[in-house]
Amino acid sequence: MTIKITVWNEYRHEKIDKHVGDVYPQGIHGAIAGFLSYCEDFEVGTAYLDQPEHGLTDEVLNNTDVLIWWGHMAHGDVKDEIVEKVYDRVLEGMGMVFLHSAHASKLFCKLNGTKTGRLSWRDHGGELERLFTVNPGHPIMNGLPDYFEVPKTEMYSEYFDIAQGAELITISWFPGGEVFRSAFTFTRGKGRIFYLKPGHEEYPIYYQQEIQKMIINGVYYVKPNCDMTQVDYRVNIKLPRK
Ligand code: ZN
């Protein structure tokens, strides 16, 4: 089984902020693609905002089973026609993984069905985050403990404006007493979507094993479960008359 993955990143903050560039010298997409490429099943490519068509040409999307999305300061620069195109791909079965501040991306909001994906947040130089598993039977928690901690993170808190009915996987706790639905999945059309909160650009969170494991499990979980080349979701199926 080969799963073709494209890791998409805004890739701007790394270039203008030395600290962020030092944490992720190859870009956040480079760090994520790096650990994913250790998995034999994965064929990994990358794309970023300032490439033509944001790196998401038809050729790239035709070769993508799972798209991973990281963005935070330039959601508005993502062209609507690209959002539409990727949205359609998800309905056809392409898997999506949204990381961290991708909750406010046009694509996440459109798929989720809420307008802003808003939440409360605080970045005070790195706080502890403890992720509690609330769904131990979920495939994304395979090999993960009942809880684990990210030592330095940006705090995200409820209320988080997501559609009701998401399948919750973890809830995060922060020392200020805040809680947050930090990992969940939902489906749209034939596509499976996974959101995972940790991944603020100032801290080396994508080098942490538990986070890498959740992303790897997430890729397996959202990968298309049917051969998309054989199925056209636009075709109306005629049922026999009784
Ligand atoms: Zn952040």
Is pLDDT above 80 for 7? Answer: yes
Residues 215 and 186: their CA atoms lie apart, in Å, by 15
From ligand 1's centre to the CA of 132, what distance in Å?
20
Give every strand in the sheet of 147-157, ordered side by side: 42-48, 3-9, 66-70, 95-99, 191-196, 179-188, 167-173, 120-133, 147-157
Å from CA of 68 to ligand 1 middle: 16
Could you tell me the distance, in angstroms and rounded to a whole number, from the CA of residue 220 to the centre of ligand 1?
A: 25
First to last CA, the chain: 40
pLDDT-based confidence at residue 116 (cuts at 50, 70, 90): confident
Contact 67, 86 (CB under 8 A): yes
The whole-angstrom separation of Cα 97 and Cα 41 is 17
- How far is the centre of ligand 1, averaged over its atoms, from the C-alpha of 225 (Å)? 32
How many A from CA of 215 to the centre of ligand 1? 17
Two tokens at 67? 């798209």
Residue in the structure block whose two tokens are 């979920």: 138
pLDDT band at 238 (very low <50, low <70, confident <90, very high): low
pTM above 0.75, yes or no: yes
Q: What is the pLDDT of residues 176-204, one digit of tens each?
A: 999 999 999 999 999 999 999 999 999 99
pLDDT tens for each residue of 137-146: 999 999 999 9
Q: Is the dihedral of CA 109, 28, 77, 82 positive or negative?
A: negative
